[in-house]
Structure 1
Amino acid sequence: MTDSQRWLVLTLVLLCAGLFYLLEPILFPFLSGMLLAYMGDPLADRLEQKGLSRTLSVVIVFTGLSLLLVVSMLLLLPKLGQQIDNLVSQVPLFFDWIKQTLIPWLERVTGMPAPKLELDRLRQVLMQHWQTGGDLATQLLGQATRSGLAFVGWLVNLTLIPVVAFYLLRDWDAMVERIRLMLPRNIEPHVSRWASECDEVLGAFMKGQLLVMLCLGAFYALGLALVGLKLALILGLLAGLASIVPYMGFIVGIGASLIAAMLQFNELYYLALVGLVFGAGQLLEGMFLTPVLVGDKIGLHPVAVIFAIMAGGQLFGFTGVLLALPVAAVIMVLLRHLHAGYLDSDLYQANEGRALESGDDSSTDSPSTPQ
């Protein structure tokens, strides 16, 4: 890159960062629509390859995804509300189980008195907050309608997401091609290669890991429902969401499910059934879901995923969470190329070069030994 190109890239990066900081409150629907368009683009491309027009392909993909989302919400939300009420009713039983079963068991095993915990006071505070909060949907709707402007903004953002997703999905390939043609010709091959690597990493995660999360959540919810747990849907969703980090879904899900089974049944047989469900889920993930849907191209370390999501949320709220994984994928690809460049640089190979030079000098200066 020439000096003028470096200054141009630096200026554009700083300008984009400044605009993102200033416009962050209104970016949520646009970023959400962009992510939906990115995830739906491969499906539209496949339909386009079969002879359909781009617009018709986008309409089919968009309609299918919209129907799937609406049907899922209509089926899951009522059931989820019932299980949340069941969860609230289980809170007193959970505290009683800690006080009457868990703490005495820990004292017998460790031989040490357990620290005094004000469990009754904590239970009372939790139940008071839930009772004063009332129904969650009613509370959120009432809070939104108190301010007409806030309600209108919320409604506009919600409406913008499918509109933005549709138009970006329709023009996705054209926009990518225009950006490629605008790049300086001397750096276009390198940027295109880096963009392809970023797409490979991000695509493997967004389109692969999210499908793994969805499949595992559905499997765990169905398996726990067959066991007879009243909180099967909530526990399955919790385990599926936690599966964004490998093995985290298994640890969180089986821990919460064993506690729920203990409170509901208090029999070893049902605990074994819960363990069987999560063991089968791990076999399904390791032998089929991850190899088929994700493969070995993800490249994002679990710790990097956790840090990226937490850092994005801390810096820019939910908008930062949406951008966390794409930014992490780009940074990982850039660091990979920087590492390769560093290994080929004089800075890394300087000591080796000096050692070779000193070895050559010593060999030339030393007198030859007689035969």
Structure 2
Amino acid sequence: MIDSRRWLWMAGLLLLGWLLYLLQPILSPFLIGVLLAYLGDPLVDRLERWKLSRTWGVIVVFALFSLILAVLLLVLVPMLGKQLMRLYELAPQMLDWAQHQALPWVQARLGLIDGFWRFDQLKAVFSEHLGKTTDILGMLLSKATASGLALLAWLVNLLLIPVVSFYLLRDWDLLVARLRGLLPRDREGLVVQLASECHEVLGAFLRGQLLVMLALGVMYAVGLMLIGLELGLLIGLLAGLASIVPYLGVVVGIGAALTAGLFQFGGDFYPLLAIAAVFTVGQLLEGMLLTPWLVGDRIGLHPVAVIFAIMAGGQLFGFTGVLLALPVAAVIMVLVRHAHDLYKLSDLYGEPPSASDEPINPA
């Protein structure tokens, strides 16, 4: 009987995976809605503790999210667009600078042979593709409008996100209670414990690490712009996004910022020192203030697990896989931890006999 139940559960899981694979093209708005509802639920719960109804709490949270989105669209997006256009204008000059100054200096220091970099070929390929980027927007628009049905489906999916998020956020506690009520009574405690651990891992990562990313991106961007770096906003936000993996953001950011600083300021030492100071201060604040305050001592996902999960999800299921990657990785991490504990307690692992347990041979 127990074996048949196990096979039934395995068949159910396989069927669920197969259905998710078939429904992959329409899952994105629902997964984004679930993610937004999961992130917004603690805010709504806090508003409920302040004697606000659940519906009005959801409306307040939605208004806050809409205000943040409006600020991003009205302020940040135009500024980023200007910096991207500036990067496009500077790209040929940066290539010439790299060819005639940076790479010859590295070649002389490392003792490389002449023609080692084959930069002429690289520049020709890069310039060819760079010249085509001016037509990217037109190409995308032509492909999007070539199929009115595809454009309509994209707009419907975009409009579905706030609708799905609103209803899920309003009924979040009710849905969780009903799911708990469907659990087998003899397994409810174990499943709830595993779900709580998964929630702790995801909460530490999503609500903690994402806030750390946002704070670092703002600090890096403001600091680099105050120094006068032309691409400061773009590089700062890129470093903040790369901080999804600890220490990757500072490596990417300081490398890109120093390269842009060398090109813009030449051999002037003080702007480069200021760039290094911005990232040093950011790392100190992250280690001493942001991470202890926003993430705490909860166990998050290992950086290698984050990289592998995102790449594997994108490779297997595209954008839908990227959205599912971190929750699935958190569940797998919790299950592996419990499997490890069970293995250590099993007869298969065993414990070598201690010195006091060994039989004493009579002399």
TM-score with structure 2 setting the length? 0.94
Instruction: Report 1:130-279 matches (<5 A).
Output: 130-134=130-134, 137-266=137-266, 267-279=268-280
**TM superposition shift of 1:287:** 0.9
**What are the superposed Cα offsets for residues 171-198 of structure 1, whole Å, 9 maximum, x if unpaired?**
1111111111101111100000000000
Contact 1:308 1:325 in 2 (8 A): yes
* 1:311 counterpart residue number: 312
Secondary structure of 1:32's partner? helix
Distance 2:285 2:137 in 1: 35
Aligned-partner residue type, residue 294 of structure 1: V
Decide whether the 8 Å contact of 1:133 with 1:139 is kept in 2.
no
Aligned to 1:321: 322
Provide the aligned C-alpha RMSD in A: 2.0
Q: Secondary structure at the match of 2:358?
A: helix
Post-superposition shift, 1:241?
0.6
CA pair 357-218 structure 1, distance change in 2 beyond 3 A: closer
Secondary structure, counterpart of 2:299 in structure 1: coil
Q: Structure 2: which amino acid aligns with 1:268?
A: F
Whichever residue aligns with residue 226 of structure 2, its letter is L
Q: Which has the larger radius of gyration?
A: 1
1:75 pairs with 2:83: no
| Structure 2 CA distance for partners of 1:248 and 1:167, relative to 1, 3 Å | same
Sort the Cα spacing of 1:135 and 1:66 in 2 relative to 1 into closer, same or farther, 3 A: farther
Distance 1:255 1:60 in 2: 41
How far off is 1:358 after superposition? 9.0
Residue 290 (structure 1) aligned with residue 294 (structure 2): no
Q: What secondary structure sits across from 2:32 in the alignment?
A: helix
Q: Which residue of 1 aligns with 2:358?
A: 359
Of all paired residues, the percent bearing the same amino acid is: 57
- Mean Cα deviation higher: 131-140 or 64-73: 131-140
- Match in the other structure for 1:44: 44
Distance verdict in 2 for CA 1:162–1:216, change over 3 Å: same
Q: Which residue of 2 aligns with 1:22?
A: 22
- 1:242/1:248 contact within 8 Å kept: yes
CA offsets 1:206-234 (integer angstroms, 9 cap, x no match):
00000000111111111111011111111
Distance 2:220 2:98 in 1: 25
**Structure 2 unaligned spans of 5+:** none
Query: In 2, distance between residues paired with 1:53 and 1:136?
Result: 48
Once the two structures are superposed, what CA deviation does each residue of 1:76-95 show, in whole Å capped at 9, x if it has no partner? 11111111111111211222
Q: Indicate how the Cα distance of structure 1 residues 296 and 138 shifts in structure 2: closer, same or farther if over 3 A, else same.
A: farther
Contact kept in structure 2, 1:238 and 1:253, CA below 8 Å: yes
Equivalent pair of 1:242/1:252 in contact (CA under 8 Å): yes
| TM-aligned CA deviation for residue 146 of structure 1 | 1.8
CA distance in 1, matches of 2:141, 2:56: 37
User: How many residue pairs align between the two structures?
Assistant: 362
Contact 1:58–1:166 (8 Å) recurs in 2: yes
Q: For the Cα contact (< 8 Å) 1:91–1:123, is it kept in 2? A: no
Q: Which residue of 1 aligns with 2:302?
A: 301
Instruction: Tell me which amino acid in the other structure corresponds to 1:80.
Output: L
Q: Is the contact between residue 33 and residue 164 of structure 1 (CA under 8 Å) also seen in structure 2?
A: yes
Alignment partner of 1:103 is 2:103: yes
1:106–1:114 contact (8 Å) kept in structure 2: no
Q: Look up the match of 1:57.
A: 57
SS at match of 2:234: helix
Query: 1:134 aligns to what SS in structure 2?
Result: helix
Are the structure 2 counterparts of residues 358 and 218 from structure 1 closer, same or farther at C-alpha, using a change threshold of 3 Å? closer
CA distance 1:13–1:357, change in 2 (3 Å): farther
* Partners of 1:40 and 1:87 in 2: CA distance: 36
2:240 & 2:195 partners in 1: Cα distance? 30
Provide the rounded CA distance (Å) in 2 between the counterparts of 1:107 and 1:131: 29
Report SS of the residue matched to 2:270.
helix
Q: Contact (CA 8 Å) 1:29, 1:161: kept in 2 or not?
A: yes
Letter in 2 for 1:41: D
Question: Alpha carbons of 1:133 and 1:111: their partners in 2 closer, same or farther (altered >3 Å)?
Answer: closer
Residue identity in the other structure for 1:57: G
With normalisation by structure 1, the TM-score equals: 0.92
CA spacing shift, 1:219–1:285, aligned 2, 3 Å: same
Distance 1:337 1:82 in 2: 50
The CA deviation at 1:114 is: 4.9
Partner letter of residue 192 of structure 2?
S
CA, structure 1 residues 163+248, in 2 after alignment: closer, same or farther (shift >3 Å)?
same
Contact in 2 for aligned 1:95/1:119 (Cα 8 Å)? no
